[in-house]
């Protein structure tokens, strides 16, 4: 039976729909990880974000946000039936059925992609016959304008999926290019967090005195909040990504803001607690 993680942020409900979760060696994700320093964080990383073998655990999931009578799907995972980098696909998962247990695809109002990497646009489309068509036929797909403009007809990156995850949406006339501070509802607003990609955005939620941020890939793993200079291999602008993570910790550390990680495993969320010159994520 599928288990769904949910959060209530004031009047806003957020539900995690999991596509897959897997452990991997830290160096497979983190470009400049220090093994000795990593061990110093094991006490708070285990058991949710690191397993007993010392592997970090990553999750790929979508987040369904219900706010102001609107249903928003934030990031759409990897999808079925399409080639993926590093021989990861094609996949055949039951993600869409799990999502439709929460909301029927025809009832989704917005699809928000924090950026255009393959594991965030995959279920933007689904294969019907020989073609890929928009999965959410009545939704408006929101892409940050800076992100879209950078990649469309621009530099090639194997992690960017325009062919399967973006172009069919454009062809259907369902996309909208929005600024990095775009408000989807009175409670849900985008926040510019560039570096992982040039136009990357996170999602800020404020409702009824409660606050949360959906990270996107501004940070992949909680240990990067404690060590923001540890980059991720896919970061397009590594130095800018470090600055963004440092700013994020400075802004939200020791606050009531719930951090919901787009790739955080287990509880997926927590609050940043500063410890000396570093910090930890206290799982919630």
How does DSSP assign 239-255, residue by residue?
A: HHHHHHHHHHHHHHTTS
Say how far apart CA 162 and CA 143 lie, in whole Å.
12
The reported pLDDT for the residue numbered 94 is 97
Task: Kindly indicate the confidence band of residue 185, based on its pLDDT and cuts at 50, 70 and 90.
Answer: very high
The model carries a pTM of: 0.97
Total of domains in the chain? 1
Average confidence (pLDDT) over 159-178: 97
Q: pLDDT tens across 48-72, in order?
A: 999 999 999 999 999 999 999 999 9
As a whole number, mean pLDDT of residues 108-131 equals 98
Q: What are 211-261's pLDDT values in tens digits?
A: 999 999 999 999 999 999 999 999 999 999 999 999 999 999 999 999 999
Q: What is the CATH number of the domain that holds 149?
A: 3.60.15.10
pLDDT for residue 1 = 65
- Interatomic CA distance for residues 212 and 149, integer angstroms: 28
Average pLDDT over residues 168-186: 98
E-state strands within 69-185: 70-74, 110-113, 125-128, 131-134, 140-144, 175-178
Count of beta carbons in the 10 Å neighbourhood of residue 32: 11
Range of the domain at 268: 5-283
pLDDT reported for residue 153: 84
């Amino acid at each position: 039976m599928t288990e769904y993680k949910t959060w209530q942020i004031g009047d806003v409900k957020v539900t995690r729909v999991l596509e897959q979760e897997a452990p991997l060696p830290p160096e497979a994700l983190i470009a400049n990880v220090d093994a000795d320093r990593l061990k110093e964080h094991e006490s708070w990383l285990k058991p949710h974000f690191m397993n007993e073998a010392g592997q970090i655990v990553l999750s790929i999931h979508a987040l369904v946000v219900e706010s102001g009578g609107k249903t928003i799907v934030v990031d759409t995972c990897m999808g079925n039936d399409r080639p993926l980098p590093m021989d990861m696909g094609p996949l055949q998962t039951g993600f869409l059925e799990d999502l439709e247990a929460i909301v029927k695809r025809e009832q989704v109002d917005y699809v928000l992609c924090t950026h255009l990497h393959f594991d965030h646009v995959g279920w933007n489309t689904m294969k019907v016959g020989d073609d890929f068509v928009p999965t959410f036929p009545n939704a408006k797909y929101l892409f940050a304008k800076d992100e879209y403009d950078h990649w469309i007809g621009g530099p090639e990156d194997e992690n960017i999926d325009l062919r399967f995850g973006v172009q069919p949406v454009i062809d259907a006339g369902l996309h909208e290019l929005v600024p990095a501070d775009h408000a989807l509802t009175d409670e849900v607003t985008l926040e510019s967090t560039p570096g992982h990609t040039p136009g990357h955005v996170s999602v800020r939620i404020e409702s009824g005195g409660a606050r949360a941020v959906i990270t996107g890939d501004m940070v992949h793993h909680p240990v990067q909040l404690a060590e923001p200079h540890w980059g991720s291999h896919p970061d397009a602008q590594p130095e800018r990504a470090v600055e963004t993570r440092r700013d994020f910790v400075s802004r939200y550390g020791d606050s009531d803001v719930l951090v919901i990680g787009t790739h955080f495993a287990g509880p997926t969320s927590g609050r940043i607690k500063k410890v000396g010159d570093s910090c930890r994520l206290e799982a919630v």
